[in-house]
Amino acid sequence: MNWKQFKTWLDKNIIENEGFTVKVRTEQQKEYGELSTTVLTDFCDSLEATLDNKNDHHLFPEFSQDKTFKDFFAPTSSYFGKKTNQKLISENDYSLLEKLFQEWKATEINKDDSNSNKDKASDANSNKVSVRNILLIGRTGSGKSTLANVLMGKEGNKKFVESSRSTSVTKQIE
């Protein structure tokens, strides 16, 4: 997880740009409709500035997966947007941004768990040994044991005993 993934998730699921303004998508209004457009725009501007390394904006701190929103952005001392903006955001806007961040992290963790389970399933499938039973029928001395050893790849350690005589040698195998 990183800030770029957070930005991609926001763009895909939560926000839409209208000129220089960032707004909550219509389908997300119920969840995040009370979030101030100005605060959301400043927040996204800081996020983009962080990704582009522009020092004229308040930049996000270095991302760490184990940190919470409050660890990154203290409610009483976090500013977003241009560095000239020294206005703290309201408690409601802060709570909604925190909720956005938590939703994204939960989505990413679920995605990681899902991918991990797929990897485990594919690992389990790749560790399975394919077993085939083959019935070889033929007269004594016709080469059934030789063929079985070749099919099993038992060059040095032959599981089926071979004989050059016309007497049956292989009586039972495990």
Q: What is the pLDDT of residues 128-147, one digit of tens each?
A: 566 667 777 888 777 887 88
pTM, whole model, 2 decimals? 0.64
- What's the CA gap between 125 and 39, in Å, rounded? 49
The answer to whether residues 85 and 38 touch, using CB atoms and an 8 Å cutoff, is no
The answer to whether residues 96 and 36 touch, using CB atoms and an 8 Å cutoff, is no
**Which of 32-36, 102-106, 120-124, 149-153 has the least mean pLDDT?**
120-124
